[in-house]
Amino acid sequence: MGWICAIVFQRNGRLYYADPGEMRPSVGDRVLYPTADGPEVAEVVWSPQYTTEEIDGLPLLEGVAQDAEVARSELSRRKRAHARVAARKLIREHDLPMKVSGIDHVVEDNRTTIYFTAPERIDFRALVRDLGATLKCRVELRQLSPRDEARLTGGVGSCGRELCCSTFLVDFEPVSVRMAKSQNLPLNPMRISGACGKLMCCLKYEHPMYQDFAREAPALGEDVDTPDGPGTVVGHNVPGEKVVVRMAADGRRTSCALASVCSSRIAFDGSEAATQPVGGEPASAPASVEFSARDSRSSGEDSRRRRIRRDGN
């Protein structure tokens, strides 16, 4: 439980959540967000709100950004823009198969980090020397994976919304083709791949719901009992938690809630016939069984006494 707010480092960029502490900044205020390279100026896009959920571990805002911090952030922005233009120019001159994906500059250390993508490993030692001489600072080059590139550059997915990885996703969870199969999606790479060329991360979101539905719902082709009568399952509607049933009486199809549909086995187990033996007589209670066993023991003892008396006579 506690207060939580959201900030961005650039307009329409990825959301970062933070603990405002004693601060109550408004939307549009500039605050200092802690990073590995020191506090960075960020803009509040979600004013602090109190939540009852566990939010332990969120970074604590270090205060409101002053004029000196804002000026330093503006200097870093100009340095990044200059480094992007210089890096693209030198990459063309060196004829390297690289694409610049992002630039980061730390004013205190006078260090520029250039993030790039390439189809293979690149020998960029000569490029680093030329970049250092041009930018007059220490230069580092880091190669990104396709997923990291999509997170850094951003974009719009097939759903029409901004990419999840560039807005709110923190970690990349493993996604498999089995998840697409369980959701009855076409196994077409163009349909189930994201902007990075890998399987879409959103396949993981509804996978647990499909797993729970598969455990509870009757299988296709199974005979079931519905409020409208018996029928056969011909389809599933997982998001709506419904089952499509073809009625045995007239052949029409109807959509029934999963809670109102049961298979023949389940219906039999819940009926009174399940408690009746095959001969139709009421099942004996455990007490009757114990009584019969006691009568058997008594009958055996009486027979043994009669046999002893007969032997004695």
Q: Whole domain around residue 33: which residue ranges?
A: 2-65
Structure-block tokens of residue 79: 């340095």
The pLDDT tens digits of the residues spanning 202-239 come to: 888 888 888 888 888 888 888 888 888 888 888 888 88
- What integer pLDDT is reported at residue 14 of this predicted model? 76
Counts of helices then strands in the chain (DSSP H, E): 8, 12
Two tokens, residue 2: 């506690």
Flag whether 229 is in a domain. Answer: yes
pLDDT over threshold 50, residue 285: no
* Residue 192 within any structural domain of the chain: no
Q: Is the pLDDT of residue 284 over 60?
A: no
Residue among 163, 136, 129 at smallest CA distance from 149? 163
Residue 86 has pLDDT above 90, yes or no: yes
Q: Are 145 and 172 in contact (CB under 8 A)?
A: no
Residue 147: both structure tokens together? 């997923």
Residue of 232, 267, 261 lying closest to 247 (CA atoms): 232
Instruction: Compute the distance between CA of residue 166 and CA of residue 156 in angstroms, rounded to an integer.
Output: 10
Q: Bridge partners of 8?
A: 43
79: CATH: 3.30.300.20
Which ranges in 104-159 belong to alpha helices (H)? 125-135, 146-153
110 vs 298, more confident:
110
Contact by Cβ (8 Å): 101, 117: yes
Nearest in space to 7 (alpha carbons), one of 81, 83, 58, 68: 58
Asked whether residue 61 falls in the same domain as residue 82, the answer is: no
Does the pLDDT value for residue 82 go beyond 90? yes
Which of residues 50, 65, 80 is at a domain's end?
65
Can you give the pLDDT at residue 262? 66
User: Is it the case that residue 88 has pLDDT exceeding 90?
Assistant: yes
CA distance 77 to 84: 11
Report the mean per-residue pLDDT for the chain.
Answer: 80
User: Domain ends where: 89, 122, 144?
Assistant: 144
Distance CA 180, CA 154 (A): 24
Mean pLDDT of 261-285: 49
Q: Residue 265 belongs to what H/E stretch? A: helix 264-269
Same domain, 113 and 82: yes
- For residue 289, being part of any structural domain is answered with no
Tokens of 193: 């791949």
Q: Is the pLDDT of residue 130 over 90?
A: yes
Residue 109 resides in a domain: yes
Q: How confident is the model at residue 260 (pLDDT cuts 50, 70, 90)?
A: confident
Domain co-membership, 102 together with 121: yes
What total number of domains does the chain contain? Answer: 3
- Whether pTM exceeds 0.75: no
Of all residues in the chain, the percent with pLDDT exceeding 90 is 13
CA torsion 135-140-145-147 (nearest 10°) is -60
Predicted local confidence at residue 15, as pLDDT: 80
> What's the mean pLDDT in 232-260?
86
